[in-house]
Every structure is written in structure tokens, then in C-alpha cells.
Amino acid sequence: MNEPSSTSEPRSWRLPLRLPRRGLLALGRSTGDGQPGISATARLDRRTKTLTKRLQPGEIAVIDHVDLDRVSAEALVSCKVGAVVNVARSISGRYPNLGPQILIEAGIPLVDDTGPEIFAKLGEGDVVRVLDEAVYRGDEMIAKGTVQTAETIDAAMTEAKAGLATQLEAFAANTMEYLRRERDLLIDGVGVPEITTSIEGRHALIVVRGYHYREDIATLRPYLREYRPVLIGVDGGADALIEAGYRPDLIVGDMDSVSDEALTCGAELVVHAYRDGRAPGLKRVHELEQEAVVFPATATSEDIAMLLADDKGATLIVAVGTHANMVEFLDKGRAGMASTFLTRLRVGSKLVDAKGVSRLYRSRISTWSLLLLVLATFIVVIVAVLVSPAGDVLIPVLADRWHGFLFWLTGLFS
């Protein structure tokens, strides 16, 4: 089973790295104790998504992530980590993944391919020091890897493009395999569970907590007020809706990246299960004393949300933060992304991808400019009344109305 994750518009694989100046000297700067390098508390987890939930600004993230994808890199950047130590290769060469480039552009030092032994030597909360390609605890060097720079990443990305054809072939093969296994679901809707939320004849808004999701939801506020679509949060997308001031009607997903607050907000829960019926997320739902229906499928959670909305009669499906193109599929690095391609073919006549809608058009007139324009107009009108012959008539009338209003207001409190 594949967890949902969303990305923003793809970067060019050869986009020049704009490395901040602080990133050039990051591994050589001095710490507070006078020693060179970056000294901070280390947080360790083999799942980057889990680690970012507890990372604090300035801490050192120790991860095990082959082909660091953009989703994870953006999450690390938002945590404002001091440095990233990856026990695996951040760019293996299978395809040009975007994560390392994002870290370097943000000025976050990346020490790569240190080996998994660091997980046995380090403990959660240990204070470590990253200097050049080495990781120290006190004076002991516990790991050594490769420092990634703008130049090394650019070279690795160029080499990785050579493996792109192989990945595309694998993607096509996975797509055919998914079609073979899930043709009943895709064609006839067999296996879609019954839900109590009414979707028939309504619009459905599916939200995945992706890049610029806040801006996109804010841009859609007029649409949400007018059409009142069914709000479907895919795992953390439920929290995105709550943060924006909305309560989701449905929460779909593995339930591993959604908060307890969202799961207990009153939304109907649909747990994404493996094809054989195993649903690890169901245990968490029951621990919170909530009920849920199970949807077994080999697709991603965002895909089953679309299939569910389509099967239950949604007239329009608006998607925020979902995967939209081949670059994003490959950057996700999962065979299961093949399901997204076929799902979009199935619901394509109803689907409107709203990801990035906040950047489609931005007003060039600021709010302050409009306020100043209104104020200036008001002043011009007042001056015109004062200097015109009509002012001799209007001013006494307005003064009389003003005094009458004050008399009425005083009477309320006397």
C-alpha cells in the first residue's frame, strides 16, 4: 500500500542551484563552544516523514532515505534543521530526484552515504557535531560520508538522467500490472465500500497536504462558500482543512500522518487497507474509540479518495496537492504511483486539478493600495462638498443628522 504524498510544480532537472552564502560555509562555521562545524541535538528515524513530526529548529536530522524526494526535503526545510545526515545515497542514479537540490538551495548542509552503523552508535537526543564529511560525538568520529554541494548534485543529476528511460519502462510495466489486478475496481467500482456521507450530485474537494496547499485552499474560499463541496482530507490533508477553518466530511488514508484532533473531529473515516484486507491504520482508529470503514486497494490513498468520490456520484472532483505529472510520479519513487495514472483516466471527465491555482493569477493591486484609493476618494468628495454652493445646504443637514444620532445614542445609556 502506498501512502499519499503530494508535490508542487516540478523543477527543471537542470535548474541552477542558488546556494545561499551561509550554505557555502555551513560545515566550517564554529559552534557555540568554539569548535568548528555544526553542533546540535541529533534526531534519528529511518522514516523521514515520522522524523519531521518531532524535529526542532537547529537540530540535526539523521535519516535513511535512498533517493531523497522533494516531499521529504521540503518537510526538512520547513523544520529548519541545522544539518541532514543521510546513511543512504540521496541520489542513487536511478532517476533525477529533487530532494538534495532543495536542501542545498535552502542552505542546509547534507552529509551523504555515511552507512547504517550510525543508528547503532547514536541515540535519540545525543549531541553531535558535523564537520565536513564526518559526524562526531564529543571527540569520537562515529561516521563519515560525502558532503553534497551544488557541484556534486548537479553532476549526479546529470548522470541520473541516463537512468530515466529504465524508470519509465518500469513505470509502464507497473501500470499494466496494476490494471490487471484492479480492473474490476477501475472499470466497475467493485470493492468500493459503502459510506454514510452523501456525495451524490455534489462537488467533492480532495485535499492532500502538499506544497502551497494553504494558498490554494485560501484561493478556493469563494468556491467553497458558494458550492459547499464534500470535503475529503487524505491523511494529513484533513489537518490542512482544519488549519484553514474547515471540518472535513471524510478522511481517507492509512491514518499514519493525520492528527488525533482530525480523526476525532466528527468526520467519517475510510481506512486504506492492503489488497488482502490488512489495515494497520484501523488499530489507531479503534484506540481513539472511532469507527471506520475499510477500503482494500493497491492504489495510493489519494487515488482511492478519487475513486470513492466518483463511485458515489460526485459531479465534480476538485483536487488540491495531488500528483499531476510524470516528474512527480518518478520523484515519489514508488511503483504504486502507476495507479495514479489510471485513476486519472477513470475520473478525468470530472477532475479539476486545483494544485497551484493560487499562483495562476495574483492581483497586482495590494489591499493597502485599495484602502488608500478609497480614502483619497472620500477626501475629494468632502472637499468638493465644502467648497461648492451645495455645501451650504448639505452641511447643516448633515450636522443636524449627526446631532440627532448622538442624542439617540446618549439616550440608550441614560
Residues 338-357 have pLDDT tens digits of 677 778 878 888 999 887 67
Residue 120 CB neighbours (<10 A): 8
User: What residues are paired with 108 via a beta bridge?
Assistant: none
Domain shared by 143 and 239, yes or no: no
pLDDT for 187: 67
Helix (H), strand (E) at residue 293: strand 292-296
Alpha carbon 176 to chain centroid distance? 29
- What is the percentage of the chain residues whose pLDDT exceeds 70? 80
Between 218 and 381, name the one with better pLDDT.
218
The four Cα atoms 330, 333, 334, 335 give a dihedral, to 10 degrees, of 50
Read off the pLDDT of residues 54-71 as tens digits, 9 standing for 90 and up: 999 999 999 999 989 887
CATH number at 37 reads 3.50.30.10
- Which range has the worst mean pLDDT, 5-19, 130-144, 231-245, 274-288? 5-19
The verdict on 82 and 204 lying in the same domain is no
Confidence check: pLDDT of 337 > 70: no
Alpha helix positions (H), 199-321: 213-219, 221-227, 237-243, 260-263, 280-287, 301-311
Q: Are residues 241 and 379 in the same domain?
A: no
Specify the amino acid at residue 312.
K
Does 71 reside within a domain?
Answer: yes
Give me the domain span that covers residue 283: 163-359
- Yes or no: say if 76 and 50 are a contact pair by the CB < 8 Å rule: no
Q: What is the average per-residue pLDDT within 144-151? A: 94
Q: Residue type at 391? A: G
Q: Are residues 135 and 221 in the same domain?
A: no
